């Protein structure tokens, strides 16, 4: 999976000279928590910063709620987006693997990445988008089972699982491997009438089964 499959494409953007009370109003009515700040050059909008709901809250007096749509207290603050935006932008491309985007967020302790294609802003991907992507991989549906078991580092896990599934008439919905600490795991999601037989075959193959999730 790649970033373009999960990113937000219909972006709401502002410019550096946008008053932050207008930015707060946009966030409130659009139900969003971050706004890319862009400048137009040669008819292309280039990102120059990003402003978050937290940035706006910090710019207001503690007694003022800038996201209260009917509040008039926002007129007391004359700060502009360019004054408080973050200029240290973290970016990916639409073709970036989703796991690379997740790794960037984790290592840099950020929740948002701007998506650029040839320096043009084309999307935004957040932690929530990453969660949706991985939930789509791991989520089981009614009648499925998800089996997690240990494997060896260089093991051909597909070569082991496929013949068993074919022989038992079990459908492999998804198959993935991952590292946890010093061990390598396989997570296989299966569906069919012979799930228990499939589980027994995995045990017989010498693999340690760590978890079985049935969704009835």
Are 202 and 152 members of one domain?
Answer: yes
Which pLDDT value is given to residue 214? 83
Instruction: Decide if 108 is inside a domain.
Output: no
CA 197 to chain centre: 35
Which pLDDT value is given to residue 216? 62
Which pLDDT value is given to residue 81? 93
Cα 135 from Cα 191, distance rounded (Å)? 18
Full-model pTM? 0.72
Return the CATH number at 45: 3.10.580.10
Which pLDDT value is given to residue 62? 82
Are 88 and 147 members of one domain?
Answer: no
C-alpha to C-alpha distances, 64 to 56, 57, 70, 85, nearest whole angstrom? 11, 8, 12, 20
Are 144 and 41 members of one domain?
Answer: no
User: How many domains does the chain fold into?
Assistant: 2
Cα 186 from Cα 98, distance rounded (Å)? 19
Are 69 and 173 members of one domain?
Answer: no
Residues 6+ apart with CB under 8 A from 151: 157, 177, 184, 185, 186, 207
Are 16 and 118 members of one domain?
Answer: yes
Which pLDDT value is given to residue 140? 60
Which pLDDT value is given to residue 36? 95
Are 76 and 150 members of one domain?
Answer: no
Are 118 and 22 members of one domain?
Answer: yes
In a structure prediction context, what are the per-residue pLDDT tens digits for the chain, which is 216 residues long?
899 999 999 999 999 999 999 999 999 999 999 999 999 887 778 899 999 999 999 988 888 888 875 555 555 567 899 999 999 899 999 999 999 999 999 999 999 999 999 888 999 999 999 988 887 776 666 678 889 999 998 889 999 999 999 999 999 988 888 888 888 999 999 998 999 999 999 999 999 999 998 876
Are 118 and 12 members of one domain?
Answer: yes
Are 29 and 90 members of one domain?
Answer: yes
Which pLDDT value is given to residue 105? 93
Q: Which domain holds residue 210?
A: 140-214
Are 118 and 168 members of one domain?
Answer: no
Instruction: Decide if 67 is inside a domain.
Output: yes
């Amino acid at each position: 999976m790649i970033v373009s499959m999960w990113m937000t494409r219909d972006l709401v953007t502002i410019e550096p000279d946008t008053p932050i009370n207008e930015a707060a109003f946009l966030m409130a009515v659009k139900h969003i928590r971050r706004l890319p700040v862009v400048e137009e050059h040669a008819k292309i909008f280039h990102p120059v910063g990003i402003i978050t709901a937290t940035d706006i809250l910090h710019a207001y007096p503690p007694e003022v709620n800038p996201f209260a749509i009917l509040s008039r207290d926002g007129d007391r603050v004359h700060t502009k987006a360019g004054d408080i935006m973050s200029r240290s932008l973290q970016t990916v491309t639409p073709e970036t693997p989703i796991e690379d985007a997740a790794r960037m967020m984790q290592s840099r302790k950020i929740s948002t990445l701007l998506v650029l294609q040839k320096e043009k802003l084309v999307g935004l991907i957040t932690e929530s988008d990453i969660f949706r992507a991985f939930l789509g991989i791991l989520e089981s549906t009614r009648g499925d089972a998800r089996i997690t078991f240990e494997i060896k580092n260089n093991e051909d896990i597909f070569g082991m699982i496929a013949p068993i599934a074919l022989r038992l008439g079990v459908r492999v919905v998804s198959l993935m491997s991952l590292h946890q600490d010093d061990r390598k795991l396989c997570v296989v999601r299966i569906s069919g009438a012979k799930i228990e037989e499939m589980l027994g075959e995995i045990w017989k193959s010498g693999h340690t089964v760590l978890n079985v999730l049935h969704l009835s």
